[in-house]
Structure formats: C-alpha cells, structure tokens
Amino acid sequence: MNAKVEEFIYKMKKEQKEEELRQKEAFLISIGLVDETKKIEVIEYCDYDGPDCKWDKEEGKHFKIKEEYAPIEVTDEEYQELLKYVSIEKQEEINGTSKIKKTWSNTISIIANIFLVISIIAGLLLINEYGWISIVIALIYCVLWYPLIIGFSIIVAVAEKQLQ
C-alpha cells in the first residue's frame, strides 16, 4: 500500500478513536459517573471576549479552561451496557443531536408564531364586520410585534447558551 494512503488511514482512525473517546467521556460525565478524586481541564469555546476567555489563534475563537471531574474508567462492554439503559433522548442530548431542545427561547418563538397566526385569522374573520381596515390592523400588528418577540427569543437563546 502507498505510504501516503497508510498515513492517511492511520490519521483518520486515530481521529475517529479520539472522537469516540470524547463522546464516551461526555456521556459518563453527563450521567454522573465521575471520579471525584480526579479533575480534568476542559476547553470550552466562548461566543464573546469575557474576562476569563482567551484567544485561540489556530481556531480563531475565544475559549476558557474549566476544570471538571474526570469520568470513571469503564470497559467497552460496560459502556455498551450503560448505553442500553440510558434513554435515547438523553443520548441525543449528550451527542448534541437532539431534534427538539426544550428551552425558553423555543417556547417564546412558538408563542410568537401562535400570535401571528391568531392575528391574521382574526383580521380575516373581522373583514365582514369592519371591512379591510381589520386586515390592515392585523398586518400592522404582525409587522410590529412579531419581530420584537422573535428578537426577544434570540436574546433569551444567547443568554441560555452563555449560562450553560
């Protein structure tokens, strides 16, 4: 086999094993299987330049170093057994693949969408009684309040992300 191909395959296998190890450690930490006598340093990237954040030239991002308890050591068989008993939703949350995240920002966005639909329907229903002015008022309401509520939900989402 070509030396470059072998080197590439070796590199990809190494990266895959490192990623699997990171997921395994994150899983064990998230379900509380940690060794309280050991701590590890975890690099967490920031969206802002805070007092405790530093600049990573290679990644081009701000980061901070947190200390967390180290996960306990488990064999691959034990790990697979643990995966059987932890819910799929919890696994998706750990891996970051959760379809729907239950957050305040999503709740606010859903409320904004409901109000949007209600105001349009109300405007259409009131056309017969008040004429076209009712639909104009409903559209003005939508144009003014909907972006404000969605903007507020974005601010809440950023705040939630900073607090995690």
What is d(CA 56, CA 82) in angstroms, rounded to the nearest whole number? 35
What is d(CA 79, CA 77) in angstroms, rounded to the nearest whole number? 5
Residue 163 banded pLDDT, cuts 50, 70, 90? low
Confidence at residue 90, expressed as pLDDT on a 0 to 100 scale: 64
pLDDT tens by residue, 80-124? 888 887 766 565 565 554 444 557 777 888 888 888 888 778 777
Hunting for tokens 């990573």 — which residue is that? 56
Average pLDDT of the segment spanning 117-134: 79
Burial 24-44 (b: 16+ CB within 10 A, else e): bbebbbeeeebeeeeeeeeee
Confidence at residue 50, expressed as pLDDT on a 0 to 100 scale: 67
- 96 phi and psi angles, rounded to 5 deg: 80, 20
pLDDT tens by residue, 40-82? 776 777 766 667 777 777 777 777 777 778 888 888 888 888 8
Confidence at residue 89, expressed as pLDDT on a 0 to 100 scale: 57
Residue 16 banded pLDDT, cuts 50, 70, 90? very high
More confident residue, 147 or 86: 147
CA-angle at 98, arms to 92 and 103, nearest 5°: 125
